[in-house]
Amino acid sequence: MSIWDDHYANMLWLDSSYPPEKAGQPGGDRGDCPQDSGVPSDVESKYPNSKVIWSNIRFGPIGSTVQV
* Every domain of the chain and the residues it spans: 1-56
Of the candidates 15, 54, 8, 6, the residue with the CA atom closest to the CA atom of residue 34: 15
Q: pLDDT class for 63, splitting at 50, 70, 90?
A: confident
The Cα–Cα gap between 17 and 36 comes to 11
pLDDT in tens, 6-49: 899 999 998 999 999 999 999 999 999 999 998 999 988 998 89
Supply the pLDDT for residue 16.
94
H or E element at residue 12 = helix 12-15
Question: Is 3 a residue whose pLDDT tops 70?
Answer: no
**Backbone phi, psi, residue 60, to 5°:** 160, -175
Task: State the pLDDT at residue 1.
Answer: 47
Check residue 56 and give its pLDDT. Answer: 87
Closest of 14, 52, 49 to residue 33, by C-alpha = 14
